[in-house]
Amino acid sequence: MDAKQYRTEAALFFSKAANSNSKSLNFRRFAHASEAIRFAVEELTPKALASCSLEVDEQHFFGREIRPLYDSKDYPLRRR
């Protein structure tokens, strides 16, 4: 992901359920991909992060692909 894409609208699909048998899937739209990435890394549990999906500009990032976006030098927001 390049620096410009962090400012692009994004959709995040995730499950916050503690019960792994739950089929409940949440959807949340963000004005900027950087906000979706921050939410995924800082607010979701590691298990939920591992199973979530981020869509930015018709690109999909799954689970473990999201954390490197947060750690990137191009990430524009302050990290926790």
**Domain assignment of residue 57, yes or no:** yes
- Residue 19 binned pLDDT confidence (cut-offs 50, 70, 90): low
Q: What is the pLDDT of residue 7?
A: 97
Cα of first residue to Cα of last residue in the chain, in angstroms, is: 21
Structural domain count, the chain: 1
Which tokens in the block code for residue 27? 């959807």
Q: What is the pLDDT of residue 16?
A: 76
Query: How does pLDDT run across 27-76, given as a tens digit for each residue?
Result: 999 999 999 999 999 999 999 999 999 999 999 999 999 999 999 999 99
Q: What is the pLDDT of residue 24?
A: 82
State which residues form the domain around 47: 5-16+25-71
**Domain assignment of residue 48, yes or no:** yes
Mean pLDDT score, 6-16: 94
